Amino acid sequence: GAVVSQHPSRVICKSGTSVKIECRSLDFQATTMFWYRQFPKQSLMLMATSNEGSKATYEQGVEKDKFLINHASLTLSTLTVTSAHPEDSSFYICSASPGLAGANVGFFGPGTRLTVL
Amino acid sequence: QQQVKQSPQSLIVQKGGISIINCAYENTAFDYFPWYQQFPGKGPALLIAIRPDVSEKKEGRFTISFNKSAKQFSLHIMDSQPGDSATYFCAATTIKAAGNKLTFGGGTRVLVKP
């Protein structure tokens, strides 16, 4: 149980284009989803928290207009990197929570490697 | 502000040895402390977790020790195997409310030599 998928697993795009990453909870309903980015040999940095049906809460320093998050259903959240630039190249990981108190153990997706040329 | 400090950044251990990773936290509101294992190019996977009302928790070869007064906790990997070579992250959160975010340590890269 508690499987989280991400699509695509890897994407290469040209500078200036937009890229959408999907995060799905496959066997549970995710009231809350988290988006992280991870640079090589570094820890996970939380970008934003999204709750189903409401606007995402962004961490300080994360541009909300650049990283658009939509959590339209209890099993799907999307992260769109708009007008991507080489500095946006990173490993993006989502995490989903069933939304029950005490159950936020962080079920992570496999990650999406974004390379912006 | 890094609220969870993890050490060492990396360690090398011989097969069969013990790997020890330490974490310290500042926020006394934290009441749930999971450990994650991450292989290159993969997402983190929950390994083991502990609450502060327990001083030790063991699952197979993995043991968490918790010192509430010192605000420190550690992961011990007994009988380390080459397949344990990965990056390990400690984390902290509060579970009183739903969907609380995790605060991660900086990570420890473990290499187990055969």
**Per-residue pLDDT tens digits for A33-75:** 999 999 999 999 999 998 888 889 999 999 999 999 998 898 9
Rounded CA-CA distance B42/A73 in Å is: 25
Among candidates A31, A51, A108 on the partner chain, residue whose Cβ is nearest the Cβ of B44: A108
Rounded CA-CA distance B33/B68 in Å is: 11
Q: Inter-chain contact A107–B46, Cβ cutoff 8 Å?
A: yes
Chosen for mutation from A10, A36, A54, A108 (greatest number of chain B CBs closer than 10 Å) is: A108
Q: Inter-chain contact A111–B41, Cβ cutoff 8 Å?
A: yes
Rounded CA-CA distance A62/A58 in Å is: 6
Strands A112-116 and A10-13: parallel
Of the listed ranges A51-55, B21-25, B47-51, the least confidently predicted one is A51-55
**Number of Cβ atoms within 10 Å of the Cβ of A97:** 26
| pLDDT at residue number B18 | 97
Rounded CA-CA distance A27/A113 in Å is: 24
Rounded CA-CA distance A59/B101 in Å is: 11
Structure confidence at residue A32 as a pLDDT band (50, 70, 90): confident
| pLDDT at residue number A19 | 97
* HSE-CB of B77 using CA atoms within 13 angstroms: 29
Mean pLDDT, to the nearest integer, of A81-90?
96
Per the document, the length of chain A is: 117
Q: Which residues contact residue A55 at a Cβ distance below 8 angstroms, ignoring those fewer than 6 apart?
A: none
Q: Inter-chain contact B42–A110, Cβ cutoff 8 Å?
A: yes
Structure confidence at residue B94 as a pLDDT band (50, 70, 90): confident
Rounded CA-CA distance A45/A90 in Å is: 11
| pLDDT at residue number B75 | 98
Work out the percent of chain A whose per-residue pLDDT is above 90.
Answer: 73
| pLDDT at residue number A109 | 96
Mean pLDDT, to the nearest integer, of A12-26?
96
Chosen for mutation from B36, B94, B101 (greatest number of chain A CBs closer than 10 Å) is: B101
Nearest Cα to A67, choosing from A92, A43, A103, A98? Answer: A92
Q: What residues in B contact A101, CB-CB < 8 Å?
A: 95-98
* Average pLDDT across chain A, whole number: 91
Mean pLDDT, to the nearest integer, of B71-98?
91
Mean pLDDT, to the nearest integer, of A102-113?
80
**In contact, A23 and A109? CB cutoff 8 Å:** yes
Q: Which two tokens stand for residue B11?
A: 């360690």
Mean pLDDT, to the nearest integer, of A63-88?
94
CA distance A100 to chain B (A): 5
